[in-house]
């Protein structure tokens, strides 16, 4: 397999998680082989796009035999880094923080939740999924004792700037940002934004133009 | 302005919400004019992409004068259908349903939350943002009395199939889907998926390949 680093366009990378989900489903249903034509029909993308995308990473299929589902699933998982394990903390123990802590997908994707933080005295000390909510004041000491790969920002917009800066100083490598604001971070910090507002606007476009 | 219907590639449409957010910020900071070069620097996309994107909808700028922020903001809002108003119900009053009901962005984008539904007797009758949680059994009668444009699916995967089918029969036009599964819906139903799992996988790719 080719080393995908510095080679694969980000638009292709962005499509990999969806392939991964579909391949997971196929494998769970006991399907061991699939043609690009069949995968194309299920996913609603062209077969030629599927072939082009998979070719970015090397040769995944044999002409006329289709793709080996299990092999392809594993390889895409490796490319996405899902064979590794990451430690994660959630900052903000409100409804969204709760919902995320309880979202099984986090642990299924190799992330281990090792801490939850808040500044609200009524929340500090309560338990979410057997994890006791810590005072945000202890963020730095926690990060110096344990390696924290990812911090989830489930906090209000007004608190983002200060918290982001503290997390970066404390050595966190990546941020999963639900705070509805663009972050200003050093170049070596990885950021993945979830902009629900963009999704809502796309929805209203679709409704208006359907 | 050109009519964008059937003309604008979906990749351009997907970029409009982000332009809209940036233009909102600029307008709030009292900036009335911006060049494609300056907007490019702030947003981290090329100036030529910005010009190409805006050209899809007609002429938004004057050579050498830059774009009129307020005008552009309004026009993109119109294209996205944000000048209209939509009624929305939330199905699922768990942590995610709570978080979404309290998310101010929903009403700011023209959506009015008119109902929240659950099947849990402990939740039915409780209030979220002054809206009393209704028994999911009343979904059909509610939808026959009030026009429901959008339903938010904040329910577990196992309940999705039945609830989606009931919502479609009840005349809902669009679904904002947080349920971590692909929906099978008739063609005239608009679906916008929020796949947090895809976002997590993109994050782990970025961390692994940074």
- How sure is the predictor about B7, in pLDDT bands with cuts at 50, 70 and 90? low
The pLDDT of residue B60 is 67
What the block records as the tokens of A5 is 């680093």
CB B189 within 8 A of CB B169: no
What the block records as the tokens of A171 is 């050595």
CATH number at residue B133: 3.40.50.720
Using alpha carbons, list the distances in angstroms from residue A151 to A114, A117, B118. Answer: 10, 10, 31
Give B190's strand partners. Answer: B174
In the three-class reduction of DSSP (H, G, I as helix; E, B as strand; rest coil), residue A136 is classed as helix
Report if residue A3 sits inside a domain.
no
A14 and A56 belong to one structural domain = yes
Q: Mutate one of B53, B148, B205 to test the A interface: name it (highest A CB count within 10 A).
A: B205
Please give the backbone phi and psi of residue B61, each rounded to the nearest 5 degrees, phi first: -135, 165
B48 and B122 belong to one structural domain = no
Q: What pTM was estimated for this model as a whole?
A: 0.85
CB A85 within 8 A of CB A59: no
Report if residue A207 sits inside a domain.
no
Mean pLDDT, chain A, as a whole number?
A: 89
- Give the chain A residue whose CA is nearest to the CA of B174: A207
- Give the chain A residue whose CA is nearest to the CA of B14: A202
Strand order in the sheet with A150-153: A127-128, A131-135, A111-118, A86-91, A150-153, A174-177, A190-193
Q: How far does chain A reach from its first CA to its final CA, in angstroms?
A: 42
B67 and B90 belong to one structural domain = no
The pLDDT of residue B62 is 64
Q: What is the mean pLDDT of residues B145-154?
A: 96
The pLDDT of residue A17 is 93
Helical pair B69-79 and B10-28, crossing angle rounded to 10 deg: 140
Per-residue pLDDT reduced to its tens digit, A97-132: 999 999 888 888 889 999 999 999 999 999 999 999
Report if residue A128 sits inside a domain.
yes
Higher-pLDDT residue of A63 and B145 is B145
The pLDDT of residue A6 is 47
pLDDT surpasses 60 at B1: no
The pLDDT of residue B197 is 87
* Spatial distance between the Cα atoms of B114 and B112, rounded to a whole number of angstroms: 6
**Interface predicted TM-score of the whole assembly (ipTM), two decimals:** 0.86
Per-residue pLDDT reduced to its tens digit, B19-74: 999 999 899 899 999 998 999 988 888 999 998 888 887 766 666 678 889 988 99
* Spatial distance between the Cα atoms of B58 and B56, rounded to a whole number of angstroms: 6
In the three-class reduction of DSSP (H, G, I as helix; E, B as strand; rest coil), residue A48 is classed as helix
Higher-pLDDT residue of B209 and A137 is A137
**Considering only residues 109 to 148 of chain B, which have any Cβ-Cβ distance to chain A shorter than 8 Å?**
109-111
pLDDT surpasses 70 at A61: no
Domain that holds residue B173: 86-198
């Amino acid at each position: 397999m080719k080393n995908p680093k510095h080679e694969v366009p980000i638009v292709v990378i962005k499509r990999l998680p969806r392939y991964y989900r579909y391949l997971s489903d196929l494998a769970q249903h006991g399907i061991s082989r699939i043609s690009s034509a069949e995968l194309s029909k299920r996913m609603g993308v062209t077969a030629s796009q599927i072939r082009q995308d998979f070719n970015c990473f090397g040769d995944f299929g044999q002409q006329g035999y289709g793709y080996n589902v299990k092999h392809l699933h594993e390889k895409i998982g490796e490319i996405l880094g899902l064979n590794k394990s990451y430690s994660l903390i959630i900052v903000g123990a409100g409804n969204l923080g709760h919902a995320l802590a309880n979202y099984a997908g986090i642990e299924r994707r190799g992330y281990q939740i090792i801490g939850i933080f808040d500044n609200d005295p009524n929340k500090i000390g309560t338990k979410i999924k057997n994890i006791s909510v810590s005072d945000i004041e202890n963020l730095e000491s926690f990060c110096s004792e344990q390696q924290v790969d990812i911090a989830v920002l489930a906090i209000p917009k007004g608190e983002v700037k200060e918290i982001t800066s503290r997390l970066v100083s404390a050595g966190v490598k990546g941020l999963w940002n639900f705070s509805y604001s663009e972050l200003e971070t050093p170049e070596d910090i990885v950021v993945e934004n979830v902009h629900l507002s963009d999704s809502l606007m796309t929805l209203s476009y679709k409704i208006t133009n359907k």
